[in-house]
Amino acid sequence: HTGTGQLVEISALEVIVHGFDPGFGVQGSAAAGRKVDYPRGRPDAADFYPVFDCADGRVRICLLAKRQWRSMFSWLGEPAEFADPVYDTIPGRFAAAGRIHPLIAKLFSAYTRDELVAEGAARGIPIGGVLSVGEVLTAEHYAISGAFADDQIADGVAARVPSGYATLDGLRAGWRHRAPGVGEHDEQIAVAPIPESIVAKQLVTASDTSPTSGAPAPVGVVRPFAGLRVLDLGVIVFGAELGRQFADNGADVIKVENAAFPDGLRQSKRGAALSPSVAWGHRNRRSIGLNLREPEGKQIFRDLAASADVVLANFKPGTLTSMGIAYEDLSAINDKIVVAESSAFGSVGPWSTRLGYGPLVRAACGVSDLWRYDADYRGLCDGSTVYPDHIAAQVSAATILAALIAREKYGCGGHIEVAQADTAIMQLGEHLVRESLAPGSVAVTGNTDPIAAPSGVYACAGDDEWCVVSVRDDADWERLCAVIDLADPRLATAAARLADRAAAEEPLAQWLSERTPIEAMTALQEGGVPAGAMNRLPELLVDPHLVARSAYTDLEHPLLPTPLPTAVRVAHFQAIPDAPLNPAPLPGEQTRAIARDLLGLDDTEIDRLVAAGILQPPPE
pLDDT in tens, 544-590: 999 999 999 999 999 999 999 999 998 999 989 999 999 999 999 99
Mean pLDDT of 319-330: 98
Whether the Cβ atoms of residue 572 and residue 9 lie closer than 8 Å to each other? yes
Give pLDDT, residue 199.
42
Q: How confident is the model at residue 64 (pLDDT cuts 50, 70, 90)?
A: confident
Fold of 1-126+165-177+223-353+388-428+543-620: Rossmann fold (3.40.50)
Give pLDDT, residue 197.
47
pLDDT at 202 over 50: no
Q: How confident is the model at residue 140 (pLDDT cuts 50, 70, 90)?
A: very high
Residues 426, 388, 539: CA angle, nearest 5 degrees: 125
Whether the Cβ atoms of residue 439 and residue 357 lie closer than 8 Å to each other? no
Give pLDDT, residue 37.
62
Strands (E) located in 186-235: 229-232
Counting residues of the chain whose pLDDT is more than 90, the rounded percentage is 82
> Which alpha helices (H) appear in 21-168, and where do they start and end?
66-75, 90-95, 97-108, 113-123, 133-138, 140-145
Give pLDDT, residue 1.
62
Mean pLDDT of 42-64: 89
Side-chain half-sphere of 7: how many Cα atoms within 13 Å? 3
Mean pLDDT of 127-140: 97
CA 518 to chain CA mean position, Å: 29
Give pLDDT, residue 191.
59
pLDDT at 218 over 50: no
Burial degree of 268 (CB within 10 A; 0-12, 13-18, 19+): middle
pLDDT in tens, 335-362: 999 999 999 999 999 999 987 788 999 9
pTM, entire model: 0.91
Cα–Cα distance for residue pair 345/149, rounded to 1 Å: 17
In single-letter form, the type of residue at position 487 comes to A
Q: How confident is the model at residue 193 (pLDDT cuts 50, 70, 90)?
A: low
Based on the residue annotation, tell me whether 389 is a catalytic residue of this protein. Answer: yes
Give pLDDT, residue 219.
52
Side-chain half-sphere of 58: how many Cα atoms within 13 Å? 17
Give pLDDT, residue 292.
98
Q: Where are the domains of the chain?
A: 1-126+165-177+223-353+388-428+543-620, 455-539
Q: How confident is the model at residue 408 (pLDDT cuts 50, 70, 90)?
A: very high
Q: How confident is the model at residue 383 (pLDDT cuts 50, 70, 90)?
A: confident
User: Is CATH 3.30.1540.10 the right assignment for the domain spanning 455-539?
Assistant: yes
Among the listed residues 369, 389, 422, 476, the single catalytic one is: 389
The b-or-e profile of 320-341 (16+ CB within 10 A means b, else e) is beebebbbebbbeebeebbbbb
Residue 104: which region, alpha, beta or left (left: phi > 0; alpha: psi -120 to 50)? alpha
pLDDT at 378 over 90: no
Average pLDDT, the chain: 91
Give pLDDT, residue 10.
95
415 forms bridges with which residues in the sheet? 339
Whether the Cβ atoms of residue 216 and residue 210 lie closer than 8 Å to each other? yes
The b-or-e profile of 566-600 (16+ CB within 10 A means b, else e) is bbbbbeeeeebeebebebbbbbbbbbbebbeebbe
Give pLDDT, residue 272.
78
Cα–Cα distance for residue pair 50/200, rounded to 1 Å: 65
DSSP of 252-275: EEEEEE-TTS--GGG--GGG-SS-
HEC string of 100-143 equals HHHHHHHHHCCCCHHHHHHHHHHHCCCEEECCCHHHHHHCHHHH
Cα–Cα distance for residue pair 118/115, rounded to 1 Å: 5
Counting residues of the chain whose pLDDT is more than 70, the rounded percentage is 92
Cα–Cα distance for residue pair 103/133, rounded to 1 Å: 30
> Residue 511, Cβ neighbours under 10 Å: how many?
20
Give pLDDT, residue 198.
41
Most confident of 150-154, 199-203, 263-267, 374-378: 150-154
Sheet with strand 286-289: strands edge to edge: 171-174, 164-168, 414-419, 338-343, 310-313, 229-232, 252-257, 286-289
Best CA proximity match to 170, nearest among 422, 415, 402: 415
Q: How confident is the model at residue 212 (pLDDT cuts 50, 70, 90)?
A: very low
Whether the Cβ atoms of residue 224 and residue 250 lie closer than 8 Å to each other? yes
Cα–Cα distance for residue pair 427/420, rounded to 1 Å: 11
Please give the C-alpha separations between residue 455 and each of 148, 492, 497, 499, in angstroms, as whole numbers: 32, 15, 11, 14
Give pLDDT, residue 186.
86
Give pLDDT, residue 208.
35
